[in-house]
């Protein structure tokens, strides 16, 4: 019979796994190789970068789908004990079943999948791009159970590190006068509208000013001026009395595990000045453009590490040997070859958004389709 103490320990462990997301616990970055890469070279890459697995990629052209599979270290060892590795390639050795989770899923979800599928790791896949962004192994689960802090890449600033945790909020029925007073008294420009921990929207100074201004009347011809009343949206805003009637919804939010670069990109693309931060769908903080400014005080070494770990390896699957990164006084110089002209542009744009980067000098070029990546050339010069 299971004792009450044992039951309590199991519940505490499960609770701990539920509190940490896959994005927080994962090891970021997934190395990739073409399908034709010899398995011996895959083994060398695993040893060099201490990776649990390598992704095998089947390139279908710049604008077509990439097909990928996984070569876990355990599968490589199994093949090595029964066959000659020299006769095998990455594409012919990848596992047919890849178990994945999304960054917002909990470590408990990942652990359940490991148990159900009898694997020692799962791949964390970005839900937007469908690209692998990291790996969670049984060791990572054990670290969470032991209460150790999730792994954070060197030089990478997370939203969780920059956000303010004591967030002022209002409810959907809060009168607008109270919302305006809250903004004024605390010197803030916006406040999340929250109900039962869920962010419904955001009320900003702009929303309140738009109400006070009233509907915009375009003074053209006299007849047009008399015949046209305010638009329905203007009418609703003019009549608004509570937060939910004037708020901007749905709210633009970001997960706590994402990087400062992700937050900066979101704010610039969506033209907002602050973003509520979520964990498991619940509000845990808020990050503003002012918070991101603090990340620009980092050293050149930290910026370079962020670019290599988060942008090149974590976002674009580019091995460190393919692109040389040098940073001086926040000015970044990139040298090397990537897979296409489009990738040259995307990498440069992503690096420009890294906190602390003042300017990007891109000396990147597009690699010919016949030329293998630098890591593959290093491992087998005859390729």
Q: Are both 9 and 52 inside the same structural domain? A: yes
Q: Give the N- to C-terminal CA distance of the chain in Å, as an integer.
A: 62
> What pLDDT, in 10s, does the model give residues 207-219?
787 655 555 444 4
Q: Are both 305 and 279 inside the same structural domain? A: no
The region of weakest confidence among 24-28, 32-36, 273-277, 379-383 is: 379-383
Q: Which domain holds residue 113?
A: 4-152
Given 102, 122, 152, the domain boundary residue is 152
Number of domains in the chain: 3
Given 295, 310, 342, the domain boundary residue is 295
Distance CA 209, CA 231 (A): 17
Q: Are both 122 and 222 inside the same structural domain? A: no
Q: Does residue 222 carry a pLDDT above 60?
A: no
Q: Does residue 99 carry a pLDDT above 70?
A: yes
pLDDT for 89:
85
Q: Are both 287 and 206 inside the same structural domain? A: yes
Q: Are both 13 and 118 inside the same structural domain? A: yes
pLDDT for 345:
81
Q: Are both 101 and 35 inside the same structural domain? A: yes
> What pLDDT, in 10s, does the model give residues 181-193?
898 898 888 899 9
For residue 133, give the nearest of 257, 314, 347, 259 by alpha carbon: 314
Out of 12-21, 195-204, 312-321, the most confident range is: 195-204
Q: Are both 147 and 11 inside the same structural domain? A: yes
Distance CA 18, CA 301 (A): 35
How does residue 103 score in pLDDT terms, banded at 50, 70 and 90? confident
Distance CA 90, CA 56 (A): 6
The CATH code of the domain that includes 319 is: 3.30.1340.30
Q: Are both 216 and 289 inside the same structural domain? A: yes
Given 152, 180, 203, the domain boundary residue is 152
> What pLDDT, in 10s, does the model give residues 314-344?
667 677 778 999 999 889 999 998 877 767 8
As to burial, measured by CB atoms within 10 angstroms (0-12 exposed, 13-18 middle, 19+ buried), residue 171 is middle
Q: Are both 169 and 70 inside the same structural domain? A: no
pLDDT for 61:
42
The DSSP secondary structure of 138-162, one letter per residue, reads HHHHHHHHTTPPPP--TTPPBHHHH
As to burial, measured by CB atoms within 10 angstroms (0-12 exposed, 13-18 middle, 19+ buried), residue 346 is middle
Report the mean per-residue pLDDT for the chain: 76
pLDDT for 63:
37
The CATH code of the domain that includes 44 is: 3.10.580.10
Q: Are both 166 and 268 inside the same structural domain? A: yes
Q: Are both 143 and 12 inside the same structural domain? A: yes
Mean pLDDT of 239-256: 83
> What pLDDT, in 10s, does the model give residues 151-179?
555 455 678 888 888 899 999 999 988 99
Q: Are both 272 and 356 inside the same structural domain? A: no
């Amino acid at each position: 019979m299971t004792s009450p103490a044992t039951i309590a320990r199991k519940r505490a462990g499960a609770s701990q796994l539920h509190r940490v997301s896959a994005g927080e616990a994962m090891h970021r970055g997934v190395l990739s190789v073409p399908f034709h890469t010899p398995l011996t070279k895959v083994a060398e890459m695993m040893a060099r970068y201490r990776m649990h697995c390598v992704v095998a990629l089947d390139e279908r052209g710049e604008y077509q789908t990439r097909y990928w599979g996984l070569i876990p270290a355990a599968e490589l060892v199994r093949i090595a004990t029964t066959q000659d590795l020299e006769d095998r390639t990455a594409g012919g050795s990848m596992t047919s079943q890849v178990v994945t989770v999304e960054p917002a899923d909990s470590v408990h979800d990942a652990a359940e999948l490991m148990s159900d599928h009898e694997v020692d790791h799962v791949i964390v896949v970005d839900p937007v791009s469908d690209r692998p962004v990291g790996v969670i192994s049984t060791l990572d689960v054990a670290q969470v159970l032991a209460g150790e802090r999730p792994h954070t890449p060197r030089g990478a600033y997370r939203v969780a590190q920059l956000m303010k945790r004591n967030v002022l909020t209002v409810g959907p029925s809060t009168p607008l006068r109270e919302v305006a007073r809250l903004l004024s008294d605390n010197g803030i420009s916006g406040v999340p509208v929250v109900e039962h921990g869920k962010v419904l929207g955001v009320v900003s100074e702009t929303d309140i000013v738009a109400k006070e201004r009233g509907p915009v009347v375009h003074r053209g011809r006299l007849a047009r001026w008399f015949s046209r009343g305010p638009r329905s949206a203007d009418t609703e805003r003019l009549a608004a009395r509570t937060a939910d009637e004037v708020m901007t919804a749905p709210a633009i939010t970001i997960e706590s595990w994402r990087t400062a670069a992700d937050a900066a990109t979101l704010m610039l693309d969506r033209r907002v000045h602050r973003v509520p931060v979520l964990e498991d769908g619940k509000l845990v903080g808020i990050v503003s453009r002012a918070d991101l400014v603090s990340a620009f005080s980092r050293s050149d070494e930290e910026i370079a590490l962020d670019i290599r770990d988060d942008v090149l390896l974590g976002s674009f699957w580019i091995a460190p040997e393919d692109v040389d990164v040098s940073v001086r006084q926040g000015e970044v110089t990139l040298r090397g070859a990537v897979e296409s002209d489009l990738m040259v542009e995307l990498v440069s744009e992503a690096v420009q958004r890294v906190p602390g980067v003042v300017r990007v000098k891109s000396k990147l070029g597009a690699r010919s389709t016949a030329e293998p990546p630098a890591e593959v050339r290093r491992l087998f010069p005859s390729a």
